Amino acid sequence: MLLFALNADAQRSRSKPLHSNTKKADVTSYDQTRDPDFLAWQQSRWVDSVMKTLTPEERIAQLIMIPVYSNRDQAHIDSISNLITTYKVGGLIFFQGGPVRQAKMTNRYQQESKVPLMVTIDAEWGLAMRLDSTIRFPYQMSLGGIEDEQLIYDMGAEIARQCKRLGIHVNFAPVVDVNNNANNPVIGFRAFGEDKHNVTRKAMAYMKGMQDQRVLANAKHFPGHGDTNVDSHADLPILNFSRIRLDSVELYPFRELMENGLGSLMVAHMNIPVLDNTPNLASTLSERIVMDLLKKELKYKGLVFTDALNMQGVAKFYEPGIVDVKALLAGNDVLLNTMDVKTTIEEVKKAIQNKEITQAEIDARVRKLLAAKQWVGLDKYKPIELNNLIKDLNNPYAQNLSRQLTDASLTLLRNKENILPLNYLDTLRIAALAIGTDKETEFQRGLARYTKVDTFFLKPTATIAELLQLKEQLAKYNLVIAGVHKLQLKAGSSNFGITAEMNLFLKDLIRSKPTIVSVFGNVYSLAKIESLDKADAVIAAYQETPVTQDIASQLIFGGISAKGKLPVAVSNVFKLEDGLITHGGIRLAYSMPEGVGLKSEHFTGIDSLVAQAIQEKATPGAQVLVAKEGKVIYQKSFGYHTYDEDTPVINTDLYDLASITKVSTSMAAFMKLKGESRFNVDNTLGSYLPMVQGTDLENLKYRDILTHQARLYAWIPFWKEAVKKNGKFKWRTFNEDSTARFPFRVADNLYMHRKYHKKIYKSIVEYPLNEKPGYVYSDLSFILAPKVIENITGEDFQTYLNENFYESLGTTTLTFNPYKKYPRSRIVPTEFDPHFRKSLLHGTVNDEGAAMLGGVSGHAGLFGNANDLAKLMQMYLNDGVYGYKRYIADNVVEEFSKCQFCDQGNYRALGFDRPAKPGEQNSNAAPSAPVESFGHSGFTGTYTWIDPVNNLVYVFLSNRVNPSRDNPKLSKLNTRTNVLQVVYDAIEKSKDQ
């Protein structure tokens, strides 16, 4: 291979970054009118030196690009190698395959090539358009709905970086066709829309993003493929437009991009009589269109590529080789998808001999191509590094950017009575209906993060009987959220796959009850869904990807806002630039570290710490969640339910929260009641609980109680009072079967007497106080807390919590006695109790006292998953507000979370734990946790922390007591606080960037 490394004669230049929200009038203001940057190198020493080595035939071959597939057999790979070594072709266009395979092929071919090959690809929505194992960005129609063009610039820059990483120099994008024909079978969703100004702004941003990273953009399909009803892959479309129309609409984006340094463009296969009335002649082969219009009239000097010369728009009329020379004679610079290299070279030589084209003209085009090769860096070619290729192409920045683009594009077209974001979750019975599929969707899973939803499915082939059955099933719900899935992308006679049965059912559903519809497909499909404008809410999601479905579910519940605008007129009711605005951030959003300015790579330490804990058998599994700025940026489950490794932990599994129950039940109630002036921490226990009046507990102040310095004893082993010396239970205590007298399940095959709980309360009331004052962590007051709350409110403890917190928060898994609601497969077992219950505790509370209170207590007994616990903690972080609702009055959470007696060496807040004395080893908080932070831990291996300074919520759930509580490894390893420290370290690293 010729590795020319001479310095360029011309100075390389970079375009300025694009500014967001560019207005229509500003579309040409990116830079002053200028030619492509690479043209400055046409007379460079490198280009001169290469030209001197090329024979006339090899110069012709430089203008040829051949198609390559990385998913084909060795015979194909070798055949391409033969074309490169034999004919010295100038470039490759890669199609379907995989990035590693393509990289290996590229390295081989570059090594074999006399002159560095220009490698190209169609990557309109990123490399994923052609290659597996790569990131998919939204379709251009989706991008057309975005108001912030800076995001599109950033996408162009990232796609270019990925192209460079894979040795690609030209991306055949953006599509600048103005798609003003809804029935266009080939462009459609690939266009930015139907408004020429919007198309131009988006295309400009995309182009400049790529070219600022030294990858050539390619505007296609000149002179405009947006208003056709024939696919040029299959036939030759005819455009019967006036020249005035072409100038004002189709040519407008091309002219604007040309004036701003467009590096290359692609000529389409279309017959345009107003420009060239030769029958069956494609624009690609028309000298009047390519040479006269494009190069002379429009004065375009960049590289001109043909569209693929094996497409039927040209191939049905001319043989391979013949079509290529005609394209070259028409004025094209580069022949794309040449199918017969030998014949093409021979035919071009004949054309030179016949004086149809001169060698000088060929040389000028070769020089232009070589200048472009130098501009993209091929004068200093290096092989593609295979190590970490997949990782680099799937980098977190790009993943987050794809999410941002999708977030910005989602378009809300109907929102009757501002139903979105959903409010009053406690009043809703929600059915999540997937139309077009019979498998659970990412959309349904995303909805279920916010509240309880039941899933249903409507297959496109559903029978009348199945439709009637589904209608009956949905009758009990007062809200249906319908996702329309598996739609066809291209326009055609099939209405994008929307069947009459789907239309009939959805029309009836919309008429009968509140219905939200999100359409995951080509936006033009909205016009094919009857009565869609009558739905309570309509979301145009543009495409069906996991990310799109995930983010659409967040829009519905207010995790994110709606801000997209329709880039096309879909119908008389869904018009161009329609799009309603909602405000997000009212509930948790689901993102990634990059979504809040951090880096995913700085969170890998979490995985290592949890893996270490599992490996050392500190716990069989865990859930970890980190939310920052109201966004869940890290959520992962690890390990298994038990060391048997039968059931992997997943994010929806429930853990025994142990003492986190205190801050999730009792403290929630106390803080709410404080804000209502119904509870005061400076009042005594006796003022709220008659049963303690006349006892040592009567005059204990709640400020002392909640900071664990009221002299209450740490704990009482209540169960031992029920056991005889022979180990059997006393009469009227426990029974093996559930009966009216023994209704409370303590464990499998063990039920407690209905009145035994009175003995527990009596034991607490009569138990002597500690002789010495000072801090002693005690469960006893929290065991009494439900009674205090019931006396204040007149409501059952569970009912009060459900009605005032859990149901409206959507924390559906926060529950006592989860065995009543959930299958055992979703509940993580805790310990095997060898003393009291003599069984594995699975679905019943680990704490003996809570178990003997029927599983319901203010100190232990609550179960839940990390996601739902995080909602409650986020409400605390939000000063008592979540999802439009105020649960706790202003400043109450702040008051309760402050250190009460720091000057006395007690660093606890009211009910909450706080960072211990600075410098103390094995602290209850991460070393970097600020003094304003607060939270709690649980005996079973649970932990939650709230940091108002860094706007953090952290949840760690595990069952470290499985199979035995005599396992201190999790605490010795400091896993829970060390994981949180990783987050603080990541925040600190972000400050240094």
Residues 319 and 170 in one domain: yes
In a domain, 958, yes or no: yes
Residues 363 and 420 in one domain: no
Confidence of residue 17 (pLDDT cuts 50, 70, 90): very low
Average pLDDT over residues 503-511: 95
Residues 791 and 891 in one domain: yes
Which of 358, 388, 418 delimits the end of a domain?
388
Q: Are strands 170-171 and 815-816 parallel, antiparallel or unpaired?
A: unpaired
Residue 987 to residue 947: CA distance in whole angstroms: 13
Residue 572 to residue 576: CA distance in whole angstroms: 10
Predicted local distance difference test score (pLDDT) of residue 2: 35
pLDDT over 80 (residue 491): yes
pLDDT over 90 (residue 434): yes
In a domain, 400, yes or no: no
Q: CB of 563 within 8 A of CB of 541?
A: no
Tell me the three state secondary structure of residue 680: coil
Average pLDDT over residues 713-734: 87
Residue 761 to residue 691: CA distance in whole angstroms: 9
DSSP H/E element including 53: helix 45-53
CA 574 to chain centre: 27
Predicted local distance difference test score (pLDDT) of residue 920: 67
What pTM value is reported for the model?
Answer: 0.93
In a domain, 990, yes or no: no
Angle at 545 between CA 544 and CA 551, to 5 degrees: 100
Residue 483 to residue 249: CA distance in whole angstroms: 35
Average pLDDT over residues 678-689: 98
Residues 362 and 506 in one domain: no
Confidence of residue 311 (pLDDT cuts 50, 70, 90): confident
Residue 540 to residue 532: CA distance in whole angstroms: 11
Average pLDDT over residues 814-833: 97
pLDDT over 70 (residue 10): no
Angle at 270 between CA 265 and CA 273, to 5 degrees: 120
Q: Could you give the dihedral angle defined by the CA atoms of residues 771, 774, 776 and 777, in that order, rounded to the nearest 10 degrees? A: 140
In a domain, 869, yes or no: yes
Residues 303 and 414 in one domain: no
Q: Where are the alpha helices (DSSP H) in 412-545?
A: 442-448, 464-474, 500-512
Residues 895 and 815 in one domain: yes
In a domain, 422, yes or no: yes
Residues 6+ apart with CB under 8 A from 362: 56, 59, 60, 63, 348, 352
pLDDT tens by residue, 573-595:
999 999 999 999 999 999 999 99
pLDDT over 90 (residue 402): yes
Residues 371 and 435 in one domain: no
Residue 918 to residue 921: CA distance in whole angstroms: 9
In a domain, 805, yes or no: yes
Residue 450 to residue 452: CA distance in whole angstroms: 7
Least confident residue range of 383-387, 441-445, 497-501, 956-960: 497-501
DSSP 1: -
pLDDT over 70 (residue 919): no
DSSP H/E element including 986: helix 975-991
Residues 322 and 460 in one domain: no
Residues 370 and 245 in one domain: yes
Measure Cα distances from 714 to 178, 705, 711, 778, 922 in Å. 74, 12, 9, 4, 21
Q: DSSP states of 352-365 as a string?
A: HHTTSS-HHHHHHH
- The side-by-side arrangement of strands in the sheet containing 934-938 is 589-590, 631-639, 621-628, 952-958, 942-947, 934-938
Predicted local distance difference test score (pLDDT) of residue 732: 87
DSSP 218: E
Confidence of residue 627 (pLDDT cuts 50, 70, 90): very high
DSSP H/E element including 105: helix 99-112
Q: CB of 499 within 8 A of CB of 522?
A: no
Q: At 313, which CATH number?
A: 3.20.20.300
pLDDT over 50 (residue 19): no
pLDDT tens by residue, 30-61:
344 579 999 999 999 999 999 999 999 999 99
pLDDT over 50 (residue 832): yes
pLDDT over 70 (residue 7): no
Q: At 574, which CATH number?
A: 3.40.50.1700
Measure Cα distances from 195 to 234, 253, 842 in Å. 27, 10, 61
Residues 6+ apart with CB under 8 A from 768: 696, 713
Measure Cα distances from 431 to 179, 210, 442, 815, 986 in Å. 36, 44, 15, 21, 39
Which of 554, 587, 620 delimits the end of a domain?
587
Average pLDDT value for the chain: 94
Size of the chain, expressed as the number of residues it contains: 993
Average pLDDT over residues 945-955: 98
Residues forming beta bridges with residue 482, ordered by sequence position:
433, 517
Phi-psi region of 96 (alpha: psi -120 to 50; beta: other; left: phi over 0): beta
Q: CB of 846 within 8 A of CB of 658?
A: yes
Q: List the structure tokens of 923.
A: 């602290």
Residues 669 and 550 in one domain: no
pLDDT over 60 (residue 27): no
Least confident residue range of 230-239, 438-447, 788-797: 230-239
pLDDT above 70: percentage of residues in the chain: 96
Count structural domains, the chain. Answer: 3
3-state secondary structure 116-179: CCEEEECCECEHHHCECCCCCCCCHHHHCCCCCHHHHHHHHHHHHHHHHHCCCCEECCCECCCC
Q: Where are the alpha helices (DSSP H) in 626-710?
A: 660-661, 667-675, 685-688, 702-706
Residue with tokens 């191509």: 369
Q: CB of 96 within 8 A of CB of 70?
A: yes
Residues 294 and 221 in one domain: yes
pLDDT tens by residue, 750-791:
999 999 889 999 999 999 999 999 999 999 999 999 999 999
Predicted local distance difference test score (pLDDT) of residue 535: 98
Q: Could you give the dihedral angle defined by the CA atoms of residues 50, 51, 55 and 56, in that order, rounded to the nearest 10 degrees? A: 150
Q: CB of 332 within 8 A of CB of 267?
A: yes
Predicted local distance difference test score (pLDDT) of residue 687: 97
Which of 552, 570, 587 delimits the end of a domain?
587
Burial class (CB in 10 A: 0-12, 13-18, 19+), 739: exposed
Confidence of residue 922 (pLDDT cuts 50, 70, 90): low
Residues 6+ apart with CB under 8 A from 918: none
Burial class (CB in 10 A: 0-12, 13-18, 19+), 297: exposed
pLDDT over 90 (residue 229): no
| Structural Rg of the chain based on CA atoms | 34
Residues 6+ apart with CB under 8 A from 733: 722, 752, 753, 756
In a domain, 116, yes or no: yes
pLDDT over 70 (residue 822): yes
Domain span at residue 562 reads 410-587
Q: At 772, which CATH number?
A: 3.40.710.10
Residues 493 and 526 in one domain: yes
Q: CB of 901 within 8 A of CB of 835?
A: no
In a domain, 604, yes or no: no
Average pLDDT over residues 204-232: 93
Predicted local distance difference test score (pLDDT) of residue 9: 32
Q: CB of 171 within 8 A of CB of 215?
A: yes
